[in-house]
Amino acid sequence: MSAARGALRWLAVLHGTFMADTGLLHGAATEAAAEAAANRLGGIWPQAQYFHLGTRAAELQALPTGCTLRRLASQWDRQLRAAPQTVCHGDAKLPNFLFRPTATSSTAEQPTALTTTAADTVRDAAAVDFQYAGVGCGMSDVAYLLHSTVGKAFPAAPRDGDGGLVFPRPKGYCRADAAAEAADYAAWRSVVDPLVEYYLGELRRAIDACRSDVVDTDAVVTAYRGLLEPAYLDYWRFYMGWAAPMRPSIDASDEEVLAAAPGFVRHMAGRQADYSSDAGDVVDL
């Protein structure tokens, strides 16, 4: 996983270096405060990520009104805005990172996220494509990177001939495979949890090296550790509204909406719905 760790280390340094410069370490980042921070930082976007809720009304409204991805969209957005804000890359997928060749690789070799060397070395990384860089929660970058790396190693959702997601809508569909989804989720967590802890360790090092005088490192790490699932599902909220050529009907059930998602995503969405105190919150932008 040297490539994934290299990209995570690069993100941790970015996030840790600018953590104090936003001035948004405590409380929710209002639109006005985020815009002021973005202007101070040289005119970056007030909110990073091309898929954030504020700019994806059409994709949200494409989802059935009662499904978890739509009902909890505003809650996840608030959680991410309430977290310590920093400068985010905004499009932190693996293809947007460059890696220094190792002694055993050629310059033409394309790194894969789950390639593991004997020593599991961390490859030096650099990033490109900053058009969506802006103020945001660093875990949004981390979740998107994990989607483009670890998430791809799990069973793919059904796709049509053009690569678009397919929503199977069998009559009377039910979650008969809940145990399989839970097992898929456990397997996914067994891979991503060490990567998240690696990122948080590197984030701690970056903050302590740059801004430990004004940033409560422990508070940042604790807040970010609890945001993996909201950040991951915040991306899937956009993806499921955008990627399907044939979307479910507006009154479709959660099971129908998420039938095209990997098992660990379906299980994660169920967990969020169960734990949410805001399960009736529907956002219509």
pLDDT (tens place) for every residue of the chain, 285 residues total:
678 999 999 999 999 999 888 888 776 677 888 888 888 888 899 889 999 999 898 889 888 888 889 999 999 999 999 999 999 999 999 999 998 876 555 444 444 444 433 345 667 899 999 999 999 999 999 999 999 988 766 654 444 444 444 444 333 334 447 888 888 899 999 999 999 999 999 999 999 998 778 899 999 999 999 999 999 999 999 988 886 545 556 566 677 777 778 888 888 988 888 766 444 444 443
Helices (H), 19-150: 31-40, 57-61, 68-71, 73-82, 138-148
Residue 69 near residue 233, CB atoms below 8 Å: yes
**Contacts (Cβ under 8 Å, ≥6 apart) of 119:** none
- Sign of the alpha-carbon torsion through 62, 63, 64, 70: negative
Specify the pTM: 0.82
d(CA 124, CA 254): 41
